[in-house]
Structure 1
Amino acid sequence: MLIVQKYGGTSVGTLERIDLVAKRIAKRKDEGNSLVVVVSAMSGVTNKLIDYAEYFSKNPSSRELDMLLSAGERVTSSLLAIALKELGYKAVAFSGRQAGLKTDSFHTKAKIELIDPTSINEALKEDKIVVIAGFQGVDKNGDVTTLGRGGSDLSAVAIAGAIKADLCEIYTDVDGVYTTDPRIESRARKLDKITYDEMLELASLGAKVLQNRSVELAKKLNINLVTRSSFNENNGTLITGEKKMEGAIISGIALDRNQARVTIRNVDDKPGVAAKIFKILSTQETNVDMIIQNIGTDGVANIGFTVPENELNQTLKALSNLDDSFSVESDSNIVKVSVVGIGMKSHSGIAALAFETLAKNGINIQMISTSEIRISIIVEAKYGELAVRILHEAYELYK
């Protein structure tokens, strides 16, 4: 098989761990597989490089920052290739540019435009293990770019598509995708299989196993993903487009603590006003999520919506230019609890069970949003973990 593997920062966090990863790769090679390995920077290195830059400037040039930050992944790829050669295997380390990753010119958050896999394919023909620095590429001007958060996962999936790999394995410090965070609910169960759509919902709702951009790309390219731990030999979780034969209705419960609610009061209840408000936010690239409008009296209404808590200040700043008659309030003492499952499409009563379970435990629901396979509920922050546990119990996800 032709396999792309990706190892995250924790998996390659020390020289000893890089050595263990090299031995794991060697074992897969001995099984007759062709391997392309994408690596992140060693744990903590990227943050240290940012600290170095901020010593000289609190607002460093994004172009120069990309040059600096991309070095972390190149260090890891070089060390891993050296380790593999020492074990007796043919290996070659590539930067993003050498691997043929072409991006746009949006430094620190570039998007992959195409991949020229010529160098990778030539190395594979020579029976080499190809080790690629993730998180980076090159733009049309020849400048180094980085892909932003989750960039190494994205690199791995894109490369898997370009070389028509049979499988893309994402190695992290957890065994796979669980029904919920095991640190919150000890009876959380690892899922053997999950659909792209379910994983997309969980990734966007706070599950940190995979970044949603990489799952979106895997779905688009129809690439089978497996997420598993680099610290043991346990089977991971397969993420695929194939439908389950007769699986669980609900796949998981997610908790997102990075939430804040904004309420705008005394909004004129007439066409175009809400559009004006959200146009202002869109120009700031604010990620507005749940929206609710309450019709008031005397021709005015209240509009409430949620944003990531780390975007609250920029949101309030953008709204400060609104009409003085508007009153803007915010609350960051909230969390979002979400129930996700492909089975919602064909089963009724899922939402009712969630609402009933929360009510029995005295948890007030502040906002609700739904999709075909998701129910998201805003509750007071102190009830977040309790909500996860009781919903996990209610849907019997421990079985």
Structure 2
Amino acid sequence: MARMVQKFGGTSVGSVERIQNVANRVAQTVAAGNQVIVVVSAMGHTTDELIDLARQITPEPQAREMDMLLTTGEQISIALLAMALQQKGISAYSFTGWQAGIVTEPVHSKARIMDIDPRRLIDTVASGSVAIVAGFQGWTIDREITTLGRGGSDTTAVALAAAVQADVCEIYTDVDGVYSTDPRIVPFARKIQEISYDEMLELAHLGAAVLHPRAVEYAKQYHVPLMVRSSFSQVEGTYVKEVAQMEKGLVVRGIAYDTNVAKVGLVGVPNRVENLKIVFQSLAKESINVDIIVQSIVQNDVGDISFTITKDDRKRTMEILEQLKDQIGAQAYVFEEDLAKVSIVGAGMISNPGVAADMFQALIDHNIQIKMVSTSEIKVSCVIESGLAKQAMQILHTAFALDAVQQHEEAAVV
């Protein structure tokens, strides 16, 4: 007997028919003798519809009331799934995030999980029932309802798996695993059988949408084995674990891209460490994440500072820099959008020098200008024009021998 957490996203529970399909999968897992905790998202586009309703009332709804509103979406899903299982003769109970013992920090719309009391869930599954938990939500020690932000249901599932000491956490989605890149852009993308936490975390941070970074962080921290698989087929998915078996000859495991990128430039800044501290400390206080940072000294100990942020943070960043411009002695600040970040990821880079050079050469050979570069032990990221991102992904996928041979052969037959 194994204890399992299964998470189903909004697409997987997007209709009554799909909820019945999820119920069938859960029933199969129970029939195999397993204890099962299920985490579900809101049905289909329910969250977007609730946001739209709020904005019809007010253009700037209060964060507390938005959390109160948005958490109702998952409550619909858990109740309907419980009913579907009960109809099949399987004992099942639905739980909101707070009923499941999930305690978060006191931040609305993007709270982090601080603690979980899993006793109620453990008692439920130990008695032979299925526990169905609403993803994306929790409450504070002051009993204020909160939401976890983007990827919240993934995070809920992995955190619960750690809390109940589950043998595996299965993430069901609309794709049948983790691919070397987005197969909608690169038709010859290959499914990865195994990938390490570190590689998956890099890919998730860099734009791969199959798993949220916070969920992978939890899995790595608490050693929770993950399986990413499709809700709509029985195909074996991708295992995410501590150390993954390397495919022979592959230094790069995956390619990610992100078009939510803006470049900020501070022009003519006196070269003082205090100026860097003032700028980035001020941005951090407003929860603005800065990615790539480049400082260049032009002349007379005065230079430029460039860094990247998300497009979503542009307005607030402009306000902050306007306030800081005179304090740090900057001549001006500029923004550049229509950018994308294309990244290669692979644990094999650690022991294989020259990977970055190969990436640069592949892009240069196709006249793709590189505006900024960021590296770590297992990734290299290049900022380029957004209109060239898809072409760059295809070029790099082929350059690093990631194209699926079988798919090439099938295409040739056609």
**Could you tell me the TM-score, scaled by structure 2's length?**
0.94
Map of 2:309 onto structure 1: 307
2:140 alignment counterpart: 139
Distance across 2 between alignment mates of 1:270 and 1:113: 38
1:343 pairs with one of 336, 341, 348: 348
Q: Which amino acid aligns with 1:202?
A: L
Letter aligned with residue 81 of structure 2: L
Aligned residues: 399
How do 1:123-162 residues align onto structure 2 when only pairs under 5 Å count?
Answer: 123-162=124-163
Residue in structure 1 matched with residue 121 of structure 2 by the alignment: 120
CA distance in 2, matches of 1:53, 1:372: 44
**Per-residue deviation, residues 322-380 of structure 1 (Å, max 9, x unmatched):** 12752111110211010100011111111111111111111111111100000000111
Question: Structure 1 residue aligned with 2:371, among 366, 371, 387?
Answer: 366
Q: Is the 8 A contact 2:5 2:166 kept in 1?
A: yes
Secondary structure in 1 matching 2:277: helix
Contact between 1:368 and 1:377, CA under 8 Å: does it hold in 2?
Answer: yes
For residue 311 of structure 1, report the CA deviation from its aligned partner.
1.2
Aligned to 1:331: 336
| Partners of 2:101 and 2:28 in 1: CA distance | 27
Distance 2:64 2:332 in 1: 40
Given residue 164 of structure 2, which amino acid in structure 1 is its aligned partner? I
Give, in whole Å, the separation in 2 of the partners of 1:181 and 1:246.
Answer: 19
Shift of 1:58: 2.2
**Aligned counterparts of 2:36 and 2:11: Cα–Cα separation in 1:** 21
Unaligned ranges ≥5, structure 2? 405-414
Amino acid of the residue matched to residue 10 of structure 2? G
Which of residues 272, 283, 286 is equivalent to 2:285? 283
Equivalent position of 1:294 in the other structure: 296
Equivalent residue number for residue 268 of structure 1: 270
Is contact 1:10–1:172 with CA below 8 Å preserved after alignment? Answer: yes
Residue 379 of structure 1, aligned match among 368, 384, 395:
384
Change (3 A) 1:245 1:283: closer
Task: Compute the displacement of 1:293 (Å).
Answer: 1.2
| Deviation for aligned residue 1:154 | 0.8
Say if 2:229 and 2:236, in contact at 8 Å, map to a contact too: yes
Structure 2 counterpart of 1:216, one-letter code: E
Question: What's 2:254 paired with?
Answer: 252
Q: CA deviation at 1:383?
A: 1.4
> Which digits, 9 at most, give the CA deviation of each residue in 1:177-226, with x for residues without a partner?
11011111100001011000001100000100000001000100000001
Q: What is the match of residue 394 of structure 1?
A: 399
AA in 1 matched with 2:266? I
**Closer, same or farther in 2 for the Cα pair 1:267/1:131, shift >3 Å?**
same
Structure 1 residue ranges without an equivalent (≥5): none
| Bigger shift: residues 173-182 or 109-118 | 109-118
Q: Residue 260 of structure 1: SS of its match in structure 2? A: strand
Secondary structure at 1:97 match in 2: coil
Aligned 8 A contact 2:101 2:118 in 1: yes
Higher mean C-alpha displacement, 378-387 vs 275-284 = 275-284
- Match in the other structure for 1:51: 52
User: How big is each residue's C-alpha offset from its partner over 1:13-50, in whole Å with a ceiling of 9 and x where there is no partner?
Assistant: 11111011111111111122111000000011111112
TM-score with structure 1 setting the length? 0.97
Letter aligned with residue 379 of structure 1:
I
CA shift for structure 1 position 246: 5.7
Contact 1:284 1:318 in 2 (8 A): no
Q: Which residue of 2 aligns with 1:173?
A: 174
Partner of 2:5: 4
Q: 1:63 aligned to 2:64?
A: yes
Aligned to 1:38: 39
The one-letter amino acid paired with 2:216 is: V
Letter in 1 for 2:240: I
**3-state SS of paired residue (1:264):** strand
Q: Is contact 1:280–1:319 with CA below 8 Å preserved after alignment?
A: no
Partner of residue 80, structure 1: 81
State the AA in 1 paired with 2:195.
I
Letter in 2 for 1:253: I
Structure 2 residue corresponding to 1:357, chosen from 357, 362, 377: 362
Tell me by how many angstroms 1:245 deviates.
Answer: 5.4
The superposition leaves residues 77-124 of structure 1 with CA deviations (integer Å, 9 ceiling, x where unpaired) of 000000001011111111112111112221222221111111111111
**Structure 2 residue matching 1:231: 3-state secondary structure:** coil
User: Does residue 319 in structure 1 map to residue 324 in structure 2?
Assistant: no
Q: Which residue of 2 aligns with 1:237?
A: 238
Deviation at 1:243, TM superposition (A): 4.0
Question: Quick one: distance in 1 between partners of 2:222 and 2:259?
Answer: 31
CA distance in 2, matches of 1:6, 1:270: 49
The equivalent residue for 1:28 is 29
Cα distance in 1, alignment partners of residues 87 and 244 from structure 2? 43
Aligned to 2:299, the other structure's residue is in SS state coil
Amino acid at match of 1:360: D
